[in-house]
């Protein structure tokens, strides 16, 4: 059985604890549990959460865990852990197969020296102060999680769930992770290279029919996605659809389609697992030259230059 130690600080953020549910759910399909999660703290006993209630914890001492994860706090100021806790984190990390953090938990790993010379991420709000405080660590604030060897770090809030799902995939396989995501009612697996703030946050529809159109676009980027096709999804005439869509989203349908294709293409380009021509086909640009022009307009860079830059960042 894989032993997971989850370390919570005083006033820990409840969303970071929620990520442990993915390990819990991973045990459901099998009669023999795959994971055992122990909630830890510096002193043990009840620890107050950001929600106002307490969770009973075990004192972090000399236990051995396969995975150690540092939880986060909800605060405008980054955490400053005690030296006693730092030493215990260092000892636990030495025996663990992997060490990880959610959100501001990265500050604990950094203080313990576990992130020295590595890539890391945290909540975008704390990225600047993290970079100033720990210049030897390469902070990549846009990514939702990063796996750098035996060390994992995630952005804040829901990103911890994405990171844990990736851990489950590494441990038990893609299909098992997919089943866990289904049980958690997660309709999309987000890989680590995804940005913390998606363009979808700016596309908030006022009606269900336009919301369904945006979902249709995301799920069918390889299609032509003409105004006539999208109008049919919304059950409107093309003329009505253009007017209603622009009124609700503030952009034309064509612009939204290109923006979502660009986000998907950027992710695939930076991941580096597919040739540029294949990416162009997969996200609906079809012609690589058409995608290159879109990249120039939006990023002032070419797809190949973006991929090269991503590779340099990974090696750094």
Residue 34 in contact with residue 172, Cβ under 8 Å? yes
Q: What is the pLDDT of residues 102-126, one digit of tens each?
A: 999 999 999 999 999 999 999 988 9
For the domain 199-316, what is the CATH code? 1.10.10.60
Q: Residue 315: is its pLDDT beyond 50? A: no
Residue-range domain boundaries for the chain: 2-183, 199-316
Q: What is the pLDDT of residues 229-252, one digit of tens each?
A: 999 999 999 999 999 999 998 889
Residue whose pair of structure tokens reads 């396989």 in the numeric block: 173
pLDDT band at residue 189 under the 50/70/90 scheme? low
Query: What count of other Cβ atoms lies within 10 Å of the Cβ of residue 83?
Result: 8
- Which of 230-244, 256-270, 286-300 shows the highest mean pLDDT? 230-244
Query: What count of other Cβ atoms lies within 10 Å of the Cβ of residue 66?
Result: 16
Q: Residue 43: is its pLDDT beyond 90? A: yes
Average pLDDT over residues 23-42: 91
- What is each CA distance from 283 to 107, 268, 304, in whole angstroms? 37, 9, 16
Strands of the 151-154 sheet, one edge to the other: 45-48, 54-59, 35-41, 2-7, 67-70, 98-102, 151-154, 145-148
What mean pLDDT is reported for the chain? 88
**Encoded tokens for 255:** 């612009």
pTM, 2 dp: 0.73
For the domain 2-183, what is the CATH code? 3.40.50.880
Taking the C-alpha atoms of residue 251 and residue 205, their distance in angstroms, rounded to an integer, is 11
Q: How many residues does the chain have?
A: 316
Query: What count of other Cβ atoms lies within 10 Å of the Cβ of residue 29?
Result: 13
Q: Residue 34: is its pLDDT beyond 80? A: yes
Given the DSSP bridges, would you call strands 145-148 and 138-139 parallel, antiparallel or unpaired? unpaired
Q: Which 3 state secondary structure label does DSSP give 76?
A: coil
pLDDT band at residue 83 under the 50/70/90 scheme? very high
**Encoded tokens for 282:** 């997969």
Percent of the chain with pLDDT over 70: 92
């Amino acid at each position: 059985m894989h032993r997971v130690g989850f370390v919570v600080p005083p006033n820990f953020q409840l969303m970071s604890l929620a990520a442990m549910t993915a390990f819990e759910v991973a045990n459901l399909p099998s009669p023999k549990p795959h994971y055992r999660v122990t909630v830890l703290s510096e002193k043990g006993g009840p620890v107050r959460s950001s929600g106002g209630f307490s969770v009973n914890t075990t004192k972090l001492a000399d236990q051995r865990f396969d995975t150690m994860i540092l939880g986060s706090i909800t605060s405008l100021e980054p955490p400053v852990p005690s030296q006693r806790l730092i030493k215990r984190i260092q000892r636990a990390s030495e025996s663990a197969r992997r060490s990880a953090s959610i959100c501001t938990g990265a500050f604990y790993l950094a203080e313990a020296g576990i992130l020295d010379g590595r890539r890391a991420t945290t909540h975008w709000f704390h990225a600047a102060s993290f970079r100033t405080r720990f210049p030897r660590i390469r902070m990549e604030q846009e990514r939702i999680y990063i796996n750098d060897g035996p060390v994992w770090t995630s952005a804040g809030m829901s990103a911890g769930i994405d990171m844990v799902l990736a851990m489950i995939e590494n441990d038990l396989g893609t299909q098992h992770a997919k089943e866990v995501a289904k049980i958690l009612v997660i309709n999309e697996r987000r890989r680590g290279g995804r940005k913390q703030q998606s363009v979808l946050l700016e596309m908030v529809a006022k009606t269900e029919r336009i919301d369904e159109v945006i979902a249709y676009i995301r799920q069918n980027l390889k299609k032509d996605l003409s105004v006539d096709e999208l109008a049919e999804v919304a059950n409107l005439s093309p003329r009505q659809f253009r007017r209603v869509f622009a009124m609700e989203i503030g952009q034309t349908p064509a612009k939204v389609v290109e923006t979502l294709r660009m986000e998907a293409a950027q992710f695939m380009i930076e991941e580096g697992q597919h040739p540029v021509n294949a990416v162009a086909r997969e996200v609906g640009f079809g012609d690589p030259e058409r995608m290159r022009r879109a990249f120039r307009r939006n990023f002032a860079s070419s797809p190949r230059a973006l991929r090269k830059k991503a590779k340099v960042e990974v090696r750094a």
